[in-house]
Amino acid sequence: MDPAIAWIDSQQTAMERLLIDWASINTGTFHLAGVQRLVDEVAGQFEPIAESILRLPLASHHETNARGEAIEMPLGDALVITRRSDAPLQAVLAIHLDTVYPVDSPFQAVICSDERIEGPGVADAKGGLVVLLYALLAFEHYVAATGDQRLGWRVILNSDEEIGSPCSADVFAKYAVGADFGLVYEPSLPSGNLVGERGGSGNFAIVARGKSAHAGREFAAGRNAVIAAAEVARELHSLNGRWPGVTINVARIDGGSPYNVVPDVAIVRFNVRYPKPELEAEISTAIDQIVAGAAEGITLTREGRFSAPPKLFDPQYQTLLRQVRDCGLHLGLDLAWERSGGVCDGNRLAALGVPNVDTLGVRGGNIHSTEEFMWRASLAERAKLSASFLITKSLAGK
């Protein structure tokens, strides 16, 4: 075992402390103060090994509220950290800083037991953030000891992944394109296995606008937007089963009015999951047909987009997975991969032409719940896996 990889074992306690510190900072996507605080702390941790640290403001996230009004929701910054940008082989490493837990969530405390750490984001994905950092620290130990300068790296840390990375897409497009391969630090599957093929996803809203009226005096003069939204929801749901592997989840209907007013605004919010890129156009057409079928006196408008194209199991991706598996075998890890319907920034990197393995973070479970946890031993385990992979790629020069 290379001394740089063995060094990681001596850092287990430091890694745990850092994870506890970072998980104790609330970074719900729209908790700006918390996200910016974590950006500060993470940038400081990377300073000793970085040649460049860019702090990039993200545009505000556009959303339509329950009253049908357009609102802008500020987001935290992204970080792009680079070293040896002129090296012949380039890696991009990425993970998100935000979590699904808002600042008023009851799930804030970090609790440690003999084998586990429980808390908001410990698996998804602050554990992965710690793994990424220590893998690069170990790799730079290797570079300093050997003089091997063949591999350069860039790290992209965004703060809007949990809402689909709508405002960091341009950051990936600018700084990830051209990399030879990517490593993304989403949590592994609970078994420790990796995700192979992923489906695609898109979040959408259809806004129904009608006409308000007094429910007693002028009921017939009103045009009920809630009824229109309910019909839209029914039609969207009826699309399930039309295409194999496609699911349309009507997640929420917002809007309404006091009991004595015919409601003039309602919004249907829904998610689409699909297995193949070519289905996007067909699904989009079907949604547009629903929008075009608005009842008299009702207007329907569509918002949202397909934000994560399917990540297909192509030959480049298969080769990369096998290389990671081989590194794992040398460390005593028997890794396999499985298909997932979930999406992440690995989908977006693949769409940019960067083959990547996207579940190199910690082992854990119950993500997106108040029982989220990670296995403490997986910090060193997964950091060694990534460091070994980076060293192997650098030695091969390809």
Per-residue pLDDT of 309-319, as tens digits, reads 999 999 999 99
Q: What residue numbers bound the domain in which 266 lies? A: 200-308
Q: Residue 112, Cα to own-chain centre: how many angstroms?
A: 25
**CA distances from residue 2 to 8, 143, 388 in whole angstroms, order as listed:** 11, 11, 8
pLDDT at 194: 98
Per-residue pLDDT of 351-360, as tens digits, reads 999 999 999 9
Please tell me the total count of domains within the chain: 2
pLDDT at 141: 98
Residue in the structure block whose two tokens are 């993304």: 184
Rounded CA gap, 70 and 75, in Å? 16
Among 254, 277, 308, give the residue marking a domain's end.
Answer: 308
- Residues 285 and 365 both lie in one domain: no
- Residues 251 and 210 both lie in one domain: yes
Among 261, 279, 308, give the residue marking a domain's end.
Answer: 308
Among 292, 308, 324, give the residue marking a domain's end.
Answer: 308
Coil/strand/helix, residue 189: coil
Nearest Cα residue to 58 out of 156, 198, 182 = 156
Per-residue pLDDT of 108-132, as tens digits, reads 999 999 999 999 999 999 999 999 9
- Residues 64 and 131 both lie in one domain: yes
Q: For 280, phi and psi rounded to 5 degrees?
A: -55, -50
- Residues 163 and 229 both lie in one domain: no
Rounded CA gap, 332 and 20, in Å? 27
- Residues 228 and 301 both lie in one domain: yes
Spatial CB neighbours of 17, under 8 Å, sequence gap ≥ 6: none
The answer, yes or no, to whether residue 228 has pLDDT greater than 90, is: yes
Buried b (16+ CB within 10 A) or exposed e, 278-297: ebbeebbebbeebbeebeee
Per-residue pLDDT of 62-114, as tens digits, reads 999 999 999 999 999 999 999 999 999 999 999 999 999 999 999 999 999 99
Whether 264 contacts 225, CB under 8 Å: yes
Nearest Cα residue to 276 out of 307, 251, 243, 302 = 243
- Residues 35 and 82 both lie in one domain: yes
Whether 308 contacts 164, CB under 8 Å: yes
- Residues 109 and 13 both lie in one domain: yes
- Residues 245 and 113 both lie in one domain: no
Per-residue pLDDT of 329-350, as tens digits, reads 999 999 999 999 899 999 999 9
Give the type of residue at 161. E
The answer, yes or no, to whether residue 384 has pLDDT greater than 90, is: yes
Rounded CA gap, 159 and 94, in Å? 11
Q: Residue 231, Cα to own-chain centre: how many angstroms?
A: 32
Reported pTM: 0.94
- Residues 304 and 331 both lie in one domain: no
The answer, yes or no, to whether residue 398 has pLDDT greater than 90, is: no
- Residues 67 and 190 both lie in one domain: yes
- Residues 217 and 362 both lie in one domain: no
- For residue 252, give the CATH number of its domain: 3.30.70.360
Q: Which band of pLDDT confidence, cut at 50, 70 and 90, is reported for residue 48?
A: very high
pLDDT at 1: 78
- For residue 28, give the CATH number of its domain: 3.40.630.10
Q: Which band of pLDDT confidence, cut at 50, 70 and 90, is reported for residue 397?
A: confident
Per-residue pLDDT of 263-277, as tens digits, reads 999 999 999 999 999
pLDDT at 195: 97
Mean pLDDT of the residues in the chain = 97
Q: Give mean pLDDT, residues 166-180.
A: 97
- Residues 176 and 67 both lie in one domain: yes
Per-residue pLDDT of 143-164, as tens digits, reads 999 999 999 999 999 999 999 9
pLDDT at 367: 96
